[in-house]
Amino acid sequence: MTTSTQPRPTLSALTIKPVAARIGAEIADIKLSGDLSDEAIAAINAALLQHKVIFFRDQDQLTDTEQERFSKRLGNLVPHPTEHVRNGTTSILELDSSRGGRADAWHTDVTFVDAYPKISILRGVTIPEVGGDTVWSNTVAAYDSLPPALKATAEQLWATHS
């Protein structure tokens, strides 16, 4: 591992900007490939829990190894249970549209296992100028917005997702 000559971001140095009323925030001026302090990781984790989706721009130099190193700072890595991981990694699932890989329908990430992952990390390597959208949803906000009678009904329902 190489050491960075740049200063390590701390909590006070992070700029966290919400991007929508119910979901998402952008954390600016940080390199995930760098040597992040424990305080910066704690701030990222807190922002993730609050905003549900975090965007980091300008990470075009981030390698698979650096992505996994950063990811491990947020928790244990969980490889996809039914898909092969990218060669040379422990848990990265590659969706390469030039080779037929795509997620072109509404889905959840690995919620069908007993101990589902805390988060998913998506790194866009090649982004088209048009299309390629990823849409996120905040199910906590959706539930909180339900009328009391519908919440009561939902609380009595059970389903198996496997």
* String of DSSP letters for 69-111: HHHHHHS-----SSSPPPTT-SSPPP--GGGT----S---SST
Angle among Cα 105, 85, 126 to the nearest 5 degrees reads 60
pLDDT in tens, 25-68: 999 989 999 899 999 999 999 999 999 999 999 898 899 999 99
The overall average pLDDT reported for the chain is 85
Domain boundaries, the chain: 11-155
pLDDT in tens, 106-140: 777 888 888 888 888 888 887 778 877 788 889 99
Instruction: Check residue 116 and give its pLDDT.
Output: 80
| Strand extents, DSSP E, 19-66 | 25-28, 54-55
State the pLDDT confidence band at 1, using cuts at 50, 70 and 90: very low
Return the CATH fold of 11-155.
Double-stranded beta-helix (3.60.130)
Q: What is the CA radius of gyration of the chain?
A: 18
pTM for the model stands at: 0.80
